[in-house]
Chains A and B, each alone.
Chain A
């Protein structure tokens, strides 16, 4: 049998204001549920025991994809990943990243908001209650030790969202709303490099939508995973470059996901690329510089050594993708 779900109540507000009010109620432990593909297994494993699940599916303005008057692509947080995967309104790199997430069945129910806010993952915590008791509870689980790096005092659970690296590479931003009003945060600043407190979002804030400015150059997303479907990224590299008419790089944004509690920019490589032609030698050097600062931990499929190796390999593949005819 499947593991039984703990008891909870379920609410479906039809307006944002109503939703924000429910979320701000200090008497309730509310979890926002989109497709539930991450939250429901977590509840079955008793990693989280919210008293109330709040679905945002009835709030119409949170659905769908549109282009605003300034040419920004606005994607509602309740939009299904399958819709993004098939959309011609979103940049091709976004639909490609969406297609790389999980499986067709999961994409048919999982949402953009759920993927952007995906809880950090670790193979010491995404386990059943029995397993965690046998292992000993970790930092993220109310314990006092991180089993990944036991001498440290921080949590190394991994950011495993495929869309966040792309949103950051495209210089996107998200809109957060609460009873206190709403605010816009850059996608990059939404994430914190801390496996426990991994989002710069208050508990009473709802992520409403993602806004992506018009793409000025080329972009790509490459995902490393063992199988053709289902798996979370062992590594995800999003890369966006703008070139001038002389074939020199005006700006480069390289974002590495799946190796740390947040998707991280390879700023040294980005700076190195600026003003340069993307020759094979330059790409190889930039790939090395992309890899250099990062230290993947041994807390997902495949060891840390291999994933470290693959950062440079994938960065080179990604840069070759965006260099296109320039190489």
Chain B
């Protein structure tokens, strides 16, 4: 089939590239409406306190202030997950982290809004703060949610697949390691912004830099007690999301409420510090992992424990918790697997989903431990991964359905391109190479709220001149989803992507797509677009075939024409064919949809990790680490990614490079650090991301495994390529200097401390030594899937 594509597989710029690079695209903060007011949120300066009183009279009396609202005006709770409806847009009786919004103002300009915030008098009664995992597990601190004292547990899980004890019994070598993965945040360049306008006829429109207009729509319906039919949510182009714009946020709800109160449009744009507090970023995760190996490197059993510091509210946390245990099996054949995890509440900004959602942390632990085990067993790091690699068309022990899978090829390709085998252990002191792999879902198998409806719908309308308009609620957050949709439809209809008119992310105009999260859009919205495109094409083919007196099967759509067979220039131009179809069967408007197959396993928690397809990545990092200063300089990165099919290879490379960039940031620089409960540096000076000068050349290797269910065989690339980068850096530092930094980020002080430890006769390991002695709930024992094990164990 591949050789018959015309636009699929052709590298090219995004359809919206010129508008955005010329600065003409209108992002949310660029929008201005007549009479628009400036909204601001008042942040809490207390980490944990009872609100005794809020006096807004001074602010209300200030000239130019049009409205002041508090938690009392928005009493209904919400949260992204139906099981975690624990947030208020503005704190009601209690604040739970520094930066939590407690009031909101709307004023005629920014300076007046600032003065109004200064005039709001909030009286707090401080409570003891819960600042760390250990404090959250203590029994004598106040409950952050609820009354009295006790352990601040959000959710815990304990699952066993197969027989782990038996697996360890069969092992020749067992390793136990402890790792810590520091929290980090998304650093989208566009700060969150929302513009709300409540019309005189009682309808509300919200423009918001969100990844999930559908979920924001549902939340507004709930908290504003308005029928969703009277609310319109629009996501203009979004300047980066990475998971940081997938929750409903205080500023969105407050802007709506302020507009309803004042009758004027209200815009709230967060400043950078406020974005650090809004957060929803990577959970800090402490991990303990015990793995049994045969002497040839095959894994016999794995026991994985995770401890997540979730911050003050639920957000996606229940899903995140399960994600820290779900995808270990997606790359390696683990015949017996036990996962225990717990997420706690602390008085810090709320953690949530960030690129890789809950899986980069265990991936780091797993890939570093595999490297250590390979060294113990005298096996090459590539070989130990290859011998355990998951195979296509198999089931994992925890009931993940694996279809297309080119993991082995990604490892082979990246090893070959980098010369890994001749470099590993052979480079001069200070220079090293590291290898790691990863896998990610092409969309969460289940929607966030339970329903039987499609996860993605796409509509196509063709006008009588042949113009094609594609309608989808998918929000383009910079990843290029709009271009992807245009390309899929263009391929169906024999047109060019740039010919497509795209209407996206507008709840009034576009049919539902659940949103740009979980790497779901190419697979799900792409399949819906393919479905809709096929329907349009079929109607056109039928009309043309009738006219020509031939079988529709003989027709082909290409180069702006409907042609017969291989006969170039035959048939008729697309607009003429369209008019035939409209005359024959009415308006040429079709819709398509996609819903993932039923994939959940027979246990609670099985909804997390399932996906219609998995992408695979392998990464080699080569670096120089100065033994005296501990400064790491990344020299080159090779990353091979099994995308299934590259709809647009240029955009695929962009996502790979972006994933590598973000992975290197988390590996070397980024940490959501706190002094007590106060963020240590909520700015881009203190929170360091790599600069252009810190970014190495990246060699992208696209591997196409042609997924049987993906649109034209495509899978995801938005998140997967980040996963192997962090452990590949850790493994390369070990190769360079013989030290093991078992916690992120790998900062120069840790590396020098490890070097000094070695010089004093130590092991040169830096990282946590223990995990808390926490009693997990009783294990849920799950039988492996039918047929599991048949092809798994050759020996």
Q: Which residues of A are interface residues toward B (Cβ below 8 A)?
A: 1-4, 6-7, 103, 123, 126-128, 130-131, 133-135, 224, 226-231, 301-303, 305-306, 309-310, 313, 317
Contact = CB atoms under 8 A, between A and B. Distances in A.
B273 A227 contact: no
A228 B693 contact: yes
Interface stretch (B603-611, B641-649, B744-752): B744-752
B397 interface: no
A-B pairs, top 3 by smallest CB distance, nearest first, are A228-B693, A306-B749, A134-B45
Contact of A123 (B271, B681, B752): B681
B680 A227 contact: no
B752 A309 contact: yes
Contact of B685 (A3, A230, A309, A317): A230
Nearest to A7: B111
A114 to B, nearest CB: 17
Given A130-B43, A134-B45, A230-B685, A313 B629 contact: yes
B745 to A, nearest CB: 10
B442 interface: no
B692 A229 contact: yes
B682 interface: yes
Contact of B693 (A1, A4, A130, A229): A229
A310 B747 contact: no
Contacts, number: 81
Interface centre among A103, A131, A229, A317 (most CB of B within 10 A): A131
Interface string B265-295: 0000111010000000000000000000000
B340 interface: no
Contacts of B98: 134
Contacts of A130: 43, 45, 99, 273
B329 interface: no
Contacts of B669: 226-227
A224 B629 contact: yes
Given A1-B29, A123-B681, A313 B45 contact: no
Given A3-B271, A4-B114, A224-B629, A123 B692 contact: no
Interface in B624-661: 628-631
Given A131-B678, A134-B45, A309-B752, A227 B688 contact: yes
Contacts of A131: 273, 678-679, 682
Nearest to A316: B628
B383 interface: no
Interface of B: 29, 43, 45-47, 98-99, 110-111, 113-114, 191, 269-271, 273, 628-631, 669, 675, 678-683, 685-686, 688, 690-694, 747-749, 752-753
B269 A1 contact: yes
Nearest to A305: B749
B691 A230 contact: yes
Given A130-B273, A133-B45, A313-B628, A303 B749 contact: yes
B691 A306 contact: no
Contact of B747 (A3, A128, A135, A302): A302
A180 to B, nearest CB: 37
Given A227-B693, A303-B749, A128 B688 contact: no
Contacts of B688: 226-227, 231, 301
Contacts of B29: 1
19 contacts: A1-B110, A1-B271, A2-B271, A4-B110, A4-B111, A6-B111, A127-B682, A127-B683, A128-B682, A130-B273, A134-B47, A226-B669, A226-B688, A226-B747, A227-B669, A302-B747, A302-B748, A306-B753, A310-B629
Contacts of B269: 1
A172 B535 CA distance: 79
Contacts of A2: 271
Contacts of B43: 130
B686 A301 contact: yes
A227 B694 contact: yes
A3 B669 CA distance: 26
A123 B694 contact: no
Given A4-B111, A123-B686, A227 B691 contact: yes
Nearest to A147: B675
A135 B191 CA distance: 24
Contacts of B110: 1, 4
B350 to A, nearest CB: 17
Nearest to B277: A130
Interface centre among B191, B629, B678, B693 (most CB of A within 10 A): B629
A258 B347 CA distance: 33
Contacts of A302: 747-749
Contacts of B273: 128, 130-131
Contact of A134 (B46, B685, B692, B694): B46
Interface centre among A6, A134, A305, A309 (most CB of B within 10 A): A134
A123 B680 contact: yes
Interface centre among B29, B628, B675 (most CB of A within 10 A): B628
A310 B270 CA distance: 38
A309 B675 CA distance: 23
B342 to A, nearest CB: 28
A39 B405 CA distance: 55
Given A127-B683, A229-B693, 12 more contacts: A1-B110, A1-B191, A1-B270, A2-B271, A4-B110, A4-B113, A127-B681, A131-B273, A227-B669, A227-B690, A228-B692, A230-B685
A317 B191 CA distance: 42
A128 to B, nearest CB: 5
Nearest to B628: A313
Contacts of B191: 1
A295 B172 CA distance: 50
Contacts of A301: 686, 688
A307 to B, nearest CB: 9
Contacts of A6: 111
B21 to A, nearest CB: 19
A134 B452 CA distance: 47
A256 B121 CA distance: 46
B395 to A, nearest CB: 45
B693 to A, nearest CB: 3
Contacts of A133: 45
B678 A134 contact: yes
B616 to A, nearest CB: 31
A251 B682 CA distance: 45
A4 B271 CA distance: 10
A226 to B, nearest CB: 6
Interface centre among B99, B271, B682, B692 (most CB of A within 10 A): B271
A226 B46 CA distance: 31
A41 to B, nearest CB: 9
A139 B694 CA distance: 36
Contacts of A229: 691-693
A294 to B, nearest CB: 17
B678 to A, nearest CB: 6
Interface centre among A103, A126, A127, A302 (most CB of B within 10 A): A127
B685 to A, nearest CB: 7
A299 to B, nearest CB: 11
A310 B685 CA distance: 21
A219 B750 CA distance: 31
B651 to A, nearest CB: 27
B111 A135 contact: no
Contacts of B111: 4, 6-7
Nearest to A304: B749
B271 to A, nearest CB: 6
A6 to B, nearest CB: 8
Contacts of A3: 114, 271
B157 to A, nearest CB: 34
